[in-house]
Amino acid sequence: MRFTVFGGVSARTDDGVTEFGATRLGALLGVLLVDAGRVVSADELVERVLGDTPPPRARAMTQTWLTRLRQTLPGLVGRDTGGYVVRVDPLEVDLHLFRHLVRTGRTAAALALAGDDLLAGLNTPWAVRQRAEFAQELLTARLDHLDARLDEGVHAELVPELRALADRRPLDERVAAQLIRALHGCGRTTEAVEHFLRVRGRLADELGAEPSRALSSLYRRLRPTSAPRQLPAPPKPFTGRAVELAALDQAPRGVVVITGTGGVGKTSLAVHWAHQAAERFPDGQLYVNLHGFGPSGAAVSPGEALLRFLSALDVPRAKVPHDLAGQSELLRDALADKRVLMVLDNATDTDQIEPLLPHTPHTHVVITSRTALKPPDAHSLPLGLLPPDEARALLASRIGHDRARAEPEAVDEVVRRCARLPLALAVAGARAATQPEFPLAALADELADLDAFADDDDVTADLRSVFSHSCKALSPAALRLFGLLGLTPGSDIGLAGAASLAGLDLAETEALLAELARANLLDEPEPGRFTCHDLLRGYAAELAPADERDEALHRLLDHLALTGVAAGVAFTPTRHRPRTPDPAPGVVVTSFGTHEEALAWLTAEHPALMSALPHATPVQTWLIGWALADVLDRRAHYADLLTAQQLAVAAAGQLGDAAELGRALINLGRAFDRVGRREDAQAALERAFEAYEGNPAGQAGVLLNIAMLCPDDRIGEAVEHTRRGLALFEECGDRYGQANALTGLAWSHVRLGEYAKAIEYAERVMPMWRALGHVMGEGETWDNLGSAHLGLGRPAEAVEAFTRSVEHFRAGGDRALEAAARERLGDAHAAAGDGEAARRAWLLAVEVRTEAGLPTGPVRRKLQTEGQ
């Protein structure tokens, strides 16, 4: 039987619903249900139902109504010493269920219950007081729920609700703080500042008070302490282009598109001007090389560029939506009131850049492209060949001004043969600079003697002539490496990747890369990573030895796949390492000692790994997909996660290995879930379950993943899936799997508020983790115990459990889990009444979160509240 006291009083049984309406019988039942399980005296009943001045024979009337109520609902109302009591589980009454849901952190479900006024049909003084007290209780729950949503990164969609709430409660500092957080979180910092100032003025005028420390502290943190500075190093030397620089200075704020042929210096101009103009954009400079004209598969997608920008702007990953339109809108919100310069380099078409254009009044965008892009309201700046005097000055800066003045005719000839293209002049100048003892005329003669690929006025022909000349000066080994580098599917490559490509050791490869850099055929934008202009890359690919191409590319893909597995294991040590083939001869497989080293490699190689997938063998594809699964998930690269896992599933299907297919399908299910395709996720996991037929451990793992798909309102289903998984793990004797399942059951019962059951499972699994020597498993179990003890009102036991979980997570090297456990340890200290210990725990949680790059806002708010 279930009862309602919100709105009109009603009772629901298997036979139907009894609506009591605004009757004395309903009033009597309602006042008893409000205190379900507690004895209410006869006098209290009279006062609650009939008011402070009841009519004559009030007690007799009440007795009559009680008799009728007992007849209507037999066995519900009992007589006890001094009064009456309803014999019902309080959680069967919507008011008490509301309070239980709030206590256990399920405020969304609680708020859904309280849609109507408490005891709406009763207007006695007692009922009015109850409604007023519950209204405050309801407001607190609503504000708690809003805080939770803000902590999750939801900002823009909460602004209307919080504005309305702030209008009704203009002096409520908690509401003011929430509105300020929401406005600032969606990039409307100016409005957030204005609201703070408005609230501060009202507090002073109406109450003669200053804002609280918490609200003042929030105001001080409205503006970030640092702005993104993503521009690459300015080109050195940079010569000329005075007219174009002036045009960029004078262009109206908005979008400028620099167009011109390959090698004409578009990027150099854009980056040089951006450094000069940086002070005009104090909120930061954003830059991305879109690689629109690089090798197939190397172009940066709009979604990837958006993720880079949002990360640079400190937008929490949890706030980033899955779809491109949502990400684009979030970028606009983040830049709404910021003065930022954005450089979109090497764009290929409008589709690639349109999602990146914020169209905000203070953001200025500079685009470079070989095609005549025409975004709405854009200013076009065509870039032609260098004027002759500027071309001569650029060459002189490369070879030395004294040398240039000594041979002016040779300078003119080199400039002509380089078609006044900055890229060609840089390569030719580097060639001359390596041989300072040779007369410059010799270089000019060599260029003049080269066979033309087309007419002299053909820009591509001139570039190829210069490239050919510079390559003739390379050692045979460097020339071979240069040709092989043209085969790389990504836009850049690491030292170990280059060594694998060439089949050489690291030291020899490093020396050859340095030779190519000195010849200006290769750049090293950051230590250990190498790239080159896409025109040079295309030319290099033509030089790759025909009989080595396939083997060289296979070695590179082997390096990426096998090193990727090593990185994936170091990044998530608890994953089962997949079987890997022996590396091909000459392949360098890097090892990793720490989680941080693995993360750095996976981050740097992410574009290369994604570009490699279409070229890899089925084994390499499946391994690369496995390697990327966790890092792309944790860093919210959900579109790439889905692509990688779809390819991995297809590859695993070709290999015919059920275990590999099952594992790939589990990862695919996770990817579908992350992009909001819950039905596809369920279907992928069901396929995984079928693939693991005859493999109980595999099927059990799938069931645990299906349990993870269950939302909060379906935790019961999650428990059933986990129990089935546990039974299968027990059937095949998989102790690790059993421990995982038991840990999942403990956590599920914590989420259900069934704390005693959670403790039972946690105590059952603890010796298993210890026997397995699994530090992280022990840490999770201590954490579950702490949460359960805290839920049962045992703060001392919770403090002990959370202290142990912190120790284990720290030993296991998981900073995120350690930070969360330290925060909960502070909660336990606070519940125990030890404010100083709580503050110390929360401060350490902030420190660990900061080191791990995690949001600190929720913990800081606890510190502010404790300090008031």
Residues 457 and 497 sit within 8 Å (Cβ to Cβ):
no
DSSP string of 771-807? Answer: HHT-HHHHHHHHHHHHHHHHHTT-HHHHHHHHHHHHH
Question: Is the Cα dihedral 515, 517, 522, 524 positive or negative?
Answer: positive
The predicted pLDDT at position 654 comes to 92
pLDDT at 454 (0 to 100): 35
Domain boundaries, the chain: 2-138, 152-220, 242-382, 388-472, 476-545, 546-670
Distance, in Å, from the CA atom of 674 to the CA atom of 719, rounded to the nearest integer, reads: 21
DSSP string, 108-145: HHHHHH--S-BTTT--SHHHHHHHHHHHHHHHHHHHHH
Q: State the number of CA atoms in the 13 A half-sphere of 312 facing the CB.
A: 22
- CATH second-level architecture of 2-138? Orthogonal Bundle (1.10)
476-545 under CATH 1.10.10.10, yes or no: yes
The domains spanning 2-138 and 476-545 adopt the same CATH topology: yes
The amino acid at residue 670 is R
Q: List helix spans (H) across 418-505.
A: 422-433, 440-449, 459-472, 476-485, 495-502
pTM tops 0.85, yes or no? no
Per-residue model confidence (pLDDT) at position 456: 40
Per-residue pLDDT, 854: 63
Is the Cβ–Cβ distance between 65 and 24 less than 8 Å? yes
For β-strands 364-369 and 341-347, DSSP reports them as: parallel
Calpha distance 93→166 (Å, rounded)? 32
Distance, in Å, from the CA atom of 245 to the CA atom of 240, rounded to the nearest integer, reads: 9
Q: What is the CATH number of domain 242-382?
A: 3.40.50.300
CA 416 to chain centre: 51
Q: Give the rounded distance of the alpha carbon of 795 from its chain centre.
A: 33
10 Å CB burial of residue 402 (0-12, 13-18, 19+) is exposed
SS3 341: strand
| CATH 1.25.40.10 for domain 152-220 | yes
Dihedral of CA 533/535/540/541: which sign? Answer: positive
Chunked into runs of 10 residues, the chain (868 residues) has average pLDDT values of: 81 78 76 81 81 77 79 78 81 86 85 79 83 85 88 83 90 91 80 84 82 78 66 81 88 86 83 88 87 70 87 73 84 84 89 88 89 83 83 81 80 77 76 73 64 42 64 84 87 90 92 85 81 76 86 94 92 82 92 85 89 91 92 79 92 90 91 85 91 88 85 82 90 88 91 92 93 86 95 94 90 77 93 89 81 70 69
pLDDT of residue 453: 36
Identify the CA nearest to 814 among candidates 784, 778, 766: 778
Buried residues in 35-63 as b, exposed as e (16+ CB within 10 A): bbeeebebebbbbbbbbeebeeebeebbe
